[in-house]
Amino acid sequence: MSGKPRVWISRPTFPDVVARLDEHFEVVEEPHEVKFSSAELAAKLADCDAAIVGLKEHIGAAEIADAKRLRIVANLGVGYDNLDLDALTAAGIAASNTADVLNESVADYAWALMLGAARRVGPAERWLRAGQWKATEFTQWLGMDMRGRTLGILGMGRIGQAIARRAIGFGMPVIYHNRSRLPESIERECAARLVDKTTLLRESDFLMLVLPLTAESRHAIGAAELASMKPTAMLVNIARGGIVDDDALAAALAGGKLAAAALDVFEGEPAVHPSLLALDNVLLSPHIASASHGTRRAMTSLAIDNVIAMFGFGPQAGRPPTLLNPAALVSSRFDLHSKN
């Protein structure tokens, strides 16, 4: 290849972090957040050797049809339901995510949402800003206590575990449901007990969703699941829109079948179900659980590490550190160890 390989970055990130690419790559970073059509995405991907993308870029067979030079798609997110891994692997294109660097920030935010909704921070602040605080009433703005209440976690990967560890300080017993049981040492450290999904739904006072969106987990929480929860319970979704049936959730919240919800993600976001917008017993936030200064920079840096390694540069040359589809390297059209 003549000249430097080109890296396309689908959104503005952090110039000083991206500068690490300059030695070996030509970098083209979009100056604005744009929702690209499939055809626009295909044109962008056809014109680069590596792409750093985010969750709003859905990349499958159609988008890579003309991407003859593309070697790696590095996703700015731990979840990668926006990537069709089979299509990428079949084309010999590597994919990576930003696993682990965001665990603690996301766990912090999960608690921020849960506590905020429990203590009604959102409506109380709106009320204050609207100039309605004329007197302090002793029995106004009563919320939920945490201590002694059961925290249920659906999906007990590293983020779920980080959330569970924080529960110890709040004096909350933790139950979890996961595809597989955690090693006993981790269960002990998180003070968490494995239960089946039915028990999780029935016993949780706060139900935290931390699982990836897959065909299997779509609408894992629908009308039937909501009906089996305590009417005094709260649902917290920091995972992905689509895991919860938002229609059913809005109905349960409006009908008093569920006390509250705290949501960072939505079906069809950035659109939010209009009935959820109208309810005061749900705290809504715009998909920002990983959005701390340090973590968003670390995510960018990890995506860059993956690109650099893919092109045979840096200490991890040839082994993108958070590669999702090792099979793509086997079937790759490219000589992965060439220095271009």
CB of 99 to ligand GLV, least distance (A): 9
Restricted to residues 69-98, the positions that interact with ligand GLV (CB under 6 A) are 77-79
Restricted to residues 51-70, the positions that interact with ligand GLV (CB under 6 A) are 55
Nearer to ligand GLV, 77 or 116 (CB): 77
Residue 250 tokens read as 């809005």
Catalytic one of 240, 267, 273, 296: 240
Catalytic one of 149, 177, 273, 287: 287
235 and 210 Cβ atoms separated by less than 8 Å: no
CB of 1 to ligand GLV, least distance (A): 31
Residue 217 binds ligand GLV (CB under 6 A):
no
Distance CA 178, CA 194 (A): 8
Distance CA 287, CA 180 (A): 27
**Torsion sign (Cα): 132, 136, 140, 142:** positive
Q: Is 240 a catalytic residue?
A: yes
Distance CA 302, CA 98 (A): 6
- Compute how many other C-beta atoms are within 10 angstroms of the C-beta atom of residue 149: 19
CB of 102 to ligand GLV, least distance (A): 6
> 150: closest CA among 123, 177, 130?
177
Q: Is 267 a catalytic residue?
A: no
CB of 259 to ligand GLV, least distance (A): 26
Q: Is 269 a catalytic residue?
A: yes
> 95: closest CA among 108, 82, 109?
82
Catalytic one of 71, 269, 273, 296: 269
Burial of 60 (C-beta count, 10 Å sphere; 0-12/13-18/19+): middle
Cα 56 to chain center, whole Å?
12
Q: Which of 290, 295, 322, 325 binds ligand GLV (CB under 6 A)?
A: 290
Nearer to ligand GLV, 97 or 150 (CB): 97
Nearer to ligand GLV, 217 or 290 (CB): 290
Helix axes 158-169, 103-118, angle to 10 degrees: 50
Backbone angles phi, psi at 129, to 5 degrees: -65, -25
Nearer to ligand GLV, 146 or 236 (CB): 236
- 173: preceding bond cis by omega (within 30 degrees): no
Nearer to ligand GLV, 77 or 152 (CB): 77
Residue 240 tokens read as 């992905």
Residue 7 tokens read as 């890296």
CB of 240 to ligand GLV, least distance (A): 7
# of chain residues touching ligand GLV (CB under 6 A): 6
Nearer to ligand GLV, 161 or 290 (CB): 290
Pattern 234-273, ligand GLV, x by CB under 6 A: ----------------------------------------
Residues with catalytic annotation? 240, 269, 287
Residues making contact with ligand GLV (CB under 6 A)? 55, 77-79, 102, 290
